[in-house]
Amino acid sequence: DQQVKQNSPSLSVQEGRISILNCDYTNSMFDYFLWYKKYPAEGPTFLISISSIKDKNEDGRFTVFLNKSAKHLSLHIVPSQPGDSAVYFCAASGDNNNDMRFGAGTRLTVKP
């Protein structure tokens, strides 16, 4: 039962443009949504999160948008940089992080 889905396995954008990574979920009980970034040969690292009571959270070049009615969230990176090239995982959890669910990841390539 895949409760968090990232339907785009890969995305390619030009340096300086916007990258939009999408994520859908099925469990309306999720309270928090997180994005992680993973470089090859490294573990995922936390990037940004959003609570279910908000619809937007911004941190520098990274903004996460949440649409609860559509059970959809997205990560916007603007402007995109070649160093942003990585696999991005969407994750969701309830009020307890003991059961954090992850998507399959989207590989972002930012071309110079």
Partner 1 sequence: ETGVTQTPRHLVMGMTNKKSLKCEQHLGHNAMYWYKQSAKKPLELMFVYNFKEQTENNSVPSRFSPECPNSSHLFLHLHTLQPEDSALYLCASSQAGGGNSPLHFGNGTRLTVT
Question: What residues line the site for partner 1 (CB under 8 A)?
Answer: 2, 4, 9, 31-32, 34, 36, 41-46, 49, 51, 89, 93-105
Q: Which of residues 20 and 104 has its CB atom nearest to partner 1 in the complex? A: 104
Could you tell me which residues come within 8 angstroms of residue 71 by beta carbon, excluding any fewer than 6 positions away? Answer: 24, 25, 26, 28
Q: Which two tokens stand for residue 46?
A: 């936390």
Q: How many CB atoms lie within 10 A of CB 29?
A: 11
Tell the smallest beta-carbon distance from residue 8 to partner 1 (Å). 12
Least gap, CB of 108 to partner 1 (angstroms): 15
